[in-house]
Amino acid sequence: VRIADLLTPCLLVDVDVLERNLAEMASFFADRPCGLRPHFKAHKCVEIARRQREHGIVGVTVQIPYEAVVLAEAGFDDVLVANQVVGRRRIEQVAAAASRCRVTVAVDSDETIDALAGLDVGILIEVNVGLVRGGAPPDRAAGLADRAHGLGLEVRGVQGYEGHVVGLADAAARREGAERSMAILLDVAPQVGGGIVSAGGTGTYDVTGAIPGITEVQAGSYVLMDTAYSALGLPFGEALSCLATVTTVAERHYVVDAGLKALATDHGPPVLASDAPGSVRFLSDEHATIGLGPDDRPPAPGDTVRLRPSHVDPTVALHDRLYAVREGEVLEVWTVHRGWGPLVRR
């Protein structure tokens, strides 16, 4: 199949750029005590996770139990659910994954610990290191570890995600923010024990991954990238694009068939690939409207253009498939494990 034969809108993955991103990240971790535990939520795609494994990882990070089930069924042997798991159905998914592979779950309260009692899983105490989201206050961590021990759960360490700084445009501010967050985490880690200190994202992998005592980095976006992370000047290329077809051409604008149902815009509108005329003005449900300047040569209806997504994770989650491409050819079609999964029963 050629790219020209695809139904648009659809997501293309440039496999050469993907491979370069994998190699770049692997080279950073090659000689370090810290390992890479790439976050699956960025792509939700087993084939990409396999390529990450071939480049050397200590395990995979997921955000929701369904992703752990997918990876366990695909033969991955070590999965961290880097998020609190609450609710019977989600706990059943954790149990299903844990019946096939080593599973570790982040906890930040008595309730999230008690919910795991009796399961064959280990835990990380998630500590709030500045992001206004999950994580226990640092002074609660040791008490939570004691509670988990009391329930027979193996305490494997701590987690702290510095998500409030990973996207800072100023590299020095990003570094300082990550260092401050990791100081909080490393202060608590000995009180909790267990050995794992898990943190980091694509914007901070090189800072967090080089701090002595951090044992693993959870970066995910680096493998496909997006315009928001590209703006930081990281050494990773944009492997992901959305192919769209021109449907209307007017005097000063044209329209393509990729809108809000194909591209997430929480980090801003997508950006046209450099060979397409004009600039994106706004998105509707099924359209992107693209403004044309006086010097732009208008396309014709039926032409295709590529759009560069601004935020990889929610964009991928709008699609069922990724098309792995090279030079106009579709090499492989990869499934995206979107959604929260079917019910599983113990």
Of the candidates 185, 181, 183, 207, the one whose C-alpha atom is nearest the C-alpha of residue 194 is: 185
Binding mask 220-259 for ligand PLP (x = CB under 6 A): xx--------------------------------------
Would you say 203 or 209 has its CB closer to ligand PLP?
203
CB of 129 to ligand PLP, least distance (A): 11
CB of 276 closer than 8 Å to CB of 244 = no
SS3 346: coil
What is the distance between the alpha carbons of residues 339 and 346, in angstroms, rounded to a whole number? 20
CB of 230 to ligand PLP, least distance (A): 13
Would you say 163 or 193 has its CB closer to ligand PLP?
163
Residue 314, Cβ neighbours under 10 Å: how many?
16
SS3 3: helix
Of the candidates 41, 344, 45, 54, the one whose C-alpha atom is nearest the C-alpha of residue 218 is: 41
What is the distance between the alpha carbons of residues 27 and 39, in angstroms, rounded to a whole number? 18
* Cα torsion 97, 98, 103, 104: sign: positive
65 binds ligand PLP (CB under 6 A): no
CB of 198 closer than 8 Å to CB of 178 = no
CB of 284 to ligand PLP, least distance (A): 27
- Residue 30: is it exposed, middle or buried by C-beta count within 10 angstroms (0-12/13-18/19+)? exposed
What is the distance between the alpha carbons of residues 256 and 290, in angstroms, rounded to a whole number? 8
Would you say 118 or 137 has its CB closer to ligand PLP?
137
Token couple for 251: 């005097």
Would you say 121 or 305 has its CB closer to ligand PLP?
121
Would you say 71 or 166 has its CB closer to ligand PLP?
166
Binding mask 144-183 for ligand PLP (x = CB under 6 A): -----------------x-x--x-----------------
CB of 29 to ligand PLP, least distance (A): 14
Per CB under 6 A, which of residues 31..50 are in contact with ligand PLP? Answer: 39, 42
Binding mask 184-223 for ligand PLP (x = CB under 6 A): -----------------xxx--------------xxxx--
**Total interface residues for ligand PLP by CB under 6 A:** 13
82 binds ligand PLP (CB under 6 A): yes
Residues within the interface to ligand PLP (CB under 6 A): 39, 42, 82, 161, 163, 166, 201-203, 218-221
